[in-house]
């Protein structure tokens, strides 16, 4: 059941949070002009209205200076600033649910149309929209009402959602209902004083208003695996950031560890000195830490609709203890089945890399732990071990050549992960 058949969204402050990019580019332009950067509550006013207007209003510029400042702003915005943006949580799921139920969806934004389309494409949102309207080079002064009318379909019950007073006024000019997105940047009093038809404090409230029967968010469990030095920590951080920018609620964690008891076990099992620990003890300690971590952290987070990104999981035990230490896959599988029960990763990201190059990279960074000191033939066995697990069940994994530049690795593996998640309805 849909509340409205046609839903028109503003972009900045409604679908995406573009604040970091906008602030950084505004500061860049002002510094280049040798002007002081205004305080945050003034910068905040740059979010929403046309840029040149804000430069004249808040920085005392002439029209000519404001146009120059806008050019400088774009100098940083075009290569970098537009990606410093994030989709608000639940928005992707909302758009998908509305589309599935037959709604007409459009964007009417004050941001140049070409840039808006690029942003929507980059964040994987463009596919949901029937139309996108923003100022084009010929009509930079198009007002919101005009833009809304450009995308408005005939004879459907329509609503415009936006975070600033200008969006609400635009909706009224175009003769449609409006929803104030109070989670955006608009001044709350000014926006409400315009008397929008409805107001939403959060994106969840917006979902409840527009699509009351929307399903709850789907959680997802991602494991990140690879030999020592393959760049997992760097990639884990970059992937967590990227997932959050794409609107997901991310819980980053690691093994062994991830919760107080498992972190204590980590200290024993990854001690710098070799205290004569036998392979069986080592394997059981990893499994014990895992049992606690799965029960205490991973399963509750997935149940809560979060995306869990875990640095290493049971494949590390299979490879390091089962294969490299020679305990055998069956025995390690057996003790771990008890440890993680239904906590099986939905997908495992495998960072593939030659073990010698990976270890050289690893040792350049800090002192090795007990396992990292295990020697070259041990690490050759871990590399072969991961390859063996991959060959046995390739569908469980997404792989990437981890010897590439870190940004290239992130780009490639995130692309594959995002396709897999959206394909499985994890929005």
Residues that bind ligand TYD in the complex, under the rule CB under 6 A: 228, 232-233, 255-256, 270, 286, 311-312, 316-317, 320-321, 369, 371-372
In the complex, what is the shortest distance from the CB of residue 151 to ligand TYD, in angstroms, rounded to a whole number? 49
Residue 10 or 255 with smaller CB distance to ligand TYD: 255
DSSP states of 274-337 as a string?
Answer: -----HHHHHHHHHHHHHHHIIIIIHHHHHTT-EEEEES-HHHIIIIIIIIS---HHHHHHHHH
Residue 92 or 312 with smaller CB distance to ligand TYD: 312
In the complex, what is the shortest distance from the CB of residue 17 to ligand TYD, in angstroms, rounded to a whole number? 31
* C-beta of residue 7 within 8 angstroms of C-beta of residue 171: no
Residue 151 or 339 with smaller CB distance to ligand TYD: 339
Residue 10 or 372 with smaller CB distance to ligand TYD: 372
Residue 127 or 233 with smaller CB distance to ligand TYD: 233
In the complex, what is the shortest distance from the CB of residue 257 to ligand TYD, in angstroms, rounded to a whole number? 8
Residue 86: CB atoms within 10 Å: 21
In the complex, what is the shortest distance from the CB of residue 99 to ligand TYD, in angstroms, rounded to a whole number? 40
In the complex, what is the shortest distance from the CB of residue 345 to ligand TYD, in angstroms, rounded to a whole number? 13
Residue 194 or 293 with smaller CB distance to ligand TYD: 293
Q: Using alpha carbons only, what angle is made at residue 210 by residues 207 and 215, rounded to the nearest 5 degrees?
A: 45
Residue 10 or 315 with smaller CB distance to ligand TYD: 315
Residue 231 or 305 with smaller CB distance to ligand TYD: 231
**Which alpha helices (DSSP H) does 101-156 contain, by range?**
113-122, 144-151
Reference 22, options 56, 50, 60, 61; nearest CA is 50
Count the alpha carbons within 13 Å of 409 in the hemisphere toward its beta carbon.
Answer: 24
Structure tokens at 417: 């992960």
In the complex, what is the shortest distance from the CB of residue 389 to ligand TYD, in angstroms, rounded to a whole number? 13
Residue 118 or 369 with smaller CB distance to ligand TYD: 369
The position carrying tokens 């024993």 is 268
Residue 175: CB atoms within 10 Å: 11
Residue 299 backbone class (left: φ over 0; alpha: ψ -120 to 50; beta: rest): alpha
* C-beta of residue 182 within 8 angstroms of C-beta of residue 203: no
Query: Closest CB to ligand TYD belongs to which residue?
Result: 320
Q: How far apart are CA 167 and CA 187, in angstroms?
A: 12
In the complex, what is the shortest distance from the CB of residue 290 to ligand TYD, in angstroms, rounded to a whole number? 7
* C-beta of residue 234 within 8 angstroms of C-beta of residue 252: no
User: How far is residue 209 from each of residues 98, 164, 198, 422, measured CA to CA in Å?
Assistant: 12, 19, 9, 24
In the complex, what is the shortest distance from the CB of residue 303 to ligand TYD, in angstroms, rounded to a whole number? 22
* C-beta of residue 197 within 8 angstroms of C-beta of residue 169: no
In the complex, what is the shortest distance from the CB of residue 286 to ligand TYD, in angstroms, rounded to a whole number? 4
């Amino acid at each position: 059941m849909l509340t409205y058949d046609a839903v028109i969204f503003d972009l900045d402050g409604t679908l995406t949070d573009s604040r970091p990019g906008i602030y950084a580019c505004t500061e860049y332009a002002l510094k280049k002009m040798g002007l002081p950067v205004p305080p945050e509550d003034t910068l905040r006013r740059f979010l929403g209205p046309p840029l040149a207007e804000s430069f004249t209003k808040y920085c005392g510029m002439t029209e000519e200076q404001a146009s120059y400042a806008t050019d400088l702003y774009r100098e940083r915005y075009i290569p970098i600033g537009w990606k410093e943006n994030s989709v608000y949580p639940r928005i992707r799921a909302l758009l998908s649910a509305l589309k599935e139920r037959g709604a007409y969806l459009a964007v009417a934004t004050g941001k140049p149309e070409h840039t808006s389309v690029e942003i929507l494409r980059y964040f994987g949102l463009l596919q949901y929209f029937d139309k996108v309207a923003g100022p084009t080079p010929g009509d930079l002064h198009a007002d919101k009402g005009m833009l809304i009318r450009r995308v408005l379909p005939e004879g459907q019950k329509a609503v415009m959602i936006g975070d600033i007073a200008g969006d609400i006024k635009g909706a009224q000019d175009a003769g449609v209902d409006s929803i104030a997105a109070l989670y955006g940047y608009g001044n709350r009093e000014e926006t409400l004083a315009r008397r929008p038809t409805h107001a939403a404090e959060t994106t969840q409230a917006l979902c409840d208003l527009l699509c009351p029967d929307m399903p709850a968010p789907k959680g997802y469990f991602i494991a990140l695996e690879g030999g020592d030095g393959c760049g997992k920590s760097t990639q884990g951080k970059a992937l967590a950031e990227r997932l959050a920018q794409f609107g997901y609620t991310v819980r980053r964690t690691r093994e062994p560890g991830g919760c107080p008891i498992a972190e204590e076990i980590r200290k024993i099992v990854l001690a710098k000195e070799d205290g004569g620990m036998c392979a069986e003890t080592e394997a059981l300690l990893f499994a014990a830490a895992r049992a606690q971590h799965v029960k205490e952290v991973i399963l509750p987070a997935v149940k809560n609709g979060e995306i869990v990104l875990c640095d290493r999981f049971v494949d590390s035990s299979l490879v390091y203890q089962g294969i490299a230490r020679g305990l055998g896959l069956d025995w390690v599988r057996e003790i771990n089945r008890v440890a993680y029960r239904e906590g099986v990763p939905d997908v495992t990201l495998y960072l593939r890399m030659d073990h010698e190059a990976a270890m050289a990279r690893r040792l350049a960074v800090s002192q090795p732990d007990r396992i990292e000191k295990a020697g070259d033939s041990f690490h050759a066995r871990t590399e072969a071990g991961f390859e063996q697990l991959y060959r046995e069940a390739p569908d469980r994994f997404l792989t990437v050549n981890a010897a590439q530049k870190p940004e290239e690795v992130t780009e490639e593996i995130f692309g594959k992960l995002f396709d897999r998640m959206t394909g499985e309805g994890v929005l």
